[in-house]
Structure 1
Amino acid sequence: MNLLQGKKVLVLGADSIGRGIAIRLAREGASIAVLDHTLRAATEVAEAINANGGSALAYAAAFDGQIGATLKMAIAALSGVDVLINNVLPIPTIAPLEDQPRAAFDEAFARVQAAICAMQCAVPAMQLAGAGRIINVGHRYGEGINEGLAAYNAAAWSLVGLTRTAALDWGRYQITTNLLLPLADSPEVRHCHALRPRVIDLMIGQLPLGRLGDPVEDVGGAALFLASDACCFVNGETLHGDGGQHLAGPVLNPARFV
């Protein structure tokens, strides 16, 4: 339907969720720049988009507060930016709080710093365009924490405050900032399933829709709404692209059983 025809999109993070979002938005006509801490991952996403008639560029950038130079390069290559996807949360470190290494917190908050830097770099271009969409990709552990994930929980919660603050500060520029909390059929979940199939099947069975989300069709579809003109009056909101997981009460933490 080309809902994003002519739009320029920055996607930080080329994991399964970032890949799914990038592919879905490219399908709707957007030009994409994919940034990841490994060039290989970003390139694989860009090549998948280009092979299907889309337009995508790939960049390697450390996910920390020094990402600005690469972001500015990508924005210049796109000739602006209309949509920013911050998909930067790390792979969780699993340990009780007293045993969580300081390095886990350092990495988690460095990635939040990358999201902040990306937002600050994108806003001037969005101001020039007269509007913009910022989508921070978080996790349900930014609403209800789970044990053994202190650094990850803290980073996920920080994205909540960051999203709401940006929604207030930048709404005057017709820039909307929203938080997407997805649940996807990812390699991480499949790894957990291979180790503990009964536990993961039980977790999936708790979900209202009884299945995990497809990264392109389901999670990408939720991101498409937040990126589109239909979202021009939705600001500071949390969108659960999780098939209703947030309604299911306490949901098993698969990492606890690995």
Structure 2
Amino acid sequence: MSQFDKKRAIVFGIDAIGRGIALRLGREGVAVALIDADIDEAEATARDIRRAGGRAVSSGVAWDAVRGAIEHAVDRLGGLDILVNNVLPQPHIGPLEEQPPTAFETTFGRVHAAAAAMQAALPPMRAAGGGRIINVGHRYGENVNDGIAAYNAAAWGLVGLTRTAAVDWGKYQIATNLLLPLADTPEFRVFHQRRSKLLDLMVGQLPLCRLGDTVEDIGATVLFLASEACNFVNGTVIYGDGGQHTAGPVLNPGKLSLTAQ
């Protein structure tokens, strides 16, 4: 029997990375609840997990009703061992002086959503004697990029939220860590479709010379963080980026800028 056969997980946020994480957890025997504002996307992934022999349910969520959605998912699963928060939106691109209030409201609203999900996960994890919270952030939470001020700030916010939970909830044997992934996703390709030189430069700087796979690389890293091998890992930032964080600044400002035409 796998160590994951009786585990229950919620994956909150089903973009390509969230889908890859959910598929990998389901493959390993974890019962997965998928939550997203787009219920069709969540159900499509849940259906794929079930077709492969796994256990999965799905539900929609309004961004101002996250706690209720998490509590409902916990009831359907019969408890909770793993929470994955994958909620950062696509960045609003523009110089800092032109970033509208809505850009900050949206991105920080997602950090609030992650916090609400964590608050709702605390009681069932305490009842289970512990658990794992894995927040999915972005490398811009440690190495900012130009032109996406609201996104940079929210990514930094997830770092603080993760480490605070690690300190506050460690006494309950709840380990909270932050994953900073870099994967080849449709969202990533769309974001860079008009910046092919930037994309080529980025991939060329990767020590592993490729982008990550959402299931085999990013999903596997989440599986590792949720495993018994990580019982003593808490409050840590894990890079699932092929080593990009070792390659110096994300950009050389003024040359290959996100805001350059």
Structure 2 vs 1, CA of residues 3 and 197 (structure 1 numbering), >3 Å: closer, same or farther?
farther
- Asked whether the 8 Å contact 2:92–2:151 carries over to 1, the reply is yes
SS at structure 1 position matched to 2:134? strand
Per-residue deviation at 1:2?
3.2
Partner in structure 2 of residue 12 of structure 1: 12
Kindly indicate whether residue 116 of structure 2 is the aligned counterpart of residue 117 of structure 1.
yes
Runs of 4 or more, structure 1, over 6 Å off, are none
Distance 1:74 1:169 in 2: 24
Kindly indicate whether residue 48 of structure 2 is the aligned counterpart of residue 48 of structure 1.
yes
1:116-195 to structure 2, matched below 5 A, reads 116-192=115-191, 194-195=193-194
Partner in structure 2 of residue 234 of structure 1: 233
Aligned pairs, number: 257
Distance 2:225 2:81 in 1: 12
1:54-133 to structure 2, matched below 5 A, reads 54-64=54-64, 66-133=65-132
SS at structure 2 position matched to 1:195? coil
TM-score, length basis structure 1: 0.95
Distance 1:255 1:98 in 2: 15
Q: Deviations over 1:57-116 (max 9, x none)?
A: 11110234x211111111100011100000000110001111111111111111111111
Equivalent residue letter for 1:228: S
Distance 1:85 1:254 in 2: 31
- Asked whether the 8 Å contact 2:50–2:56 carries over to 1, the reply is yes
TM-score, length basis structure 2: 0.94
Partner in structure 2 of residue 220 of structure 1: 219
- Asked whether the 8 Å contact 2:95–2:259 carries over to 1, the reply is no
Per-residue deviation at 1:196?
3.7
Q: Deviations over 1:33-71 (max 9, x none)?
A: 00001111111111111111111111110234x211111
RMSD: 1.6
Deviates more, 1:27-36 or 1:188-197: 188-197
Distance 1:233 1:118 in 2: 23
Per-residue deviation at 1:236?
0.3
Per-residue deviation at 1:230?
1.1
SS at structure 1 position matched to 2:26? helix
Per-residue deviation at 1:12?
0.5
Partner in structure 1 of residue 202 of structure 2: 203
Structure 1 vs Structure 2: percent identity of aligned residues?
Answer: 57
- Asked whether the 8 Å contact 2:66–2:116 carries over to 1, the reply is yes
- Asked whether the 8 Å contact 1:206–1:251 carries over to 2, the reply is no
Structure 2 vs 1, CA of residues 244 and 157 (structure 1 numbering), >3 Å: closer, same or farther?
same
Equivalent residue letter for 2:15: D
- Asked whether the 8 Å contact 2:134–2:179 carries over to 1, the reply is yes
Structure 2 residue ranges without an equivalent (≥5): none
Structure 1 residue ranges without an equivalent (≥5): none
Distance 1:211 1:254 in 2: 21
- Asked whether the 8 Å contact 2:143–2:250 carries over to 1, the reply is no
- Asked whether the 8 Å contact 1:204–1:211 carries over to 2, the reply is yes
Structure 2 vs 1, CA of residues 254 and 118 (structure 1 numbering), >3 Å: closer, same or farther?
farther
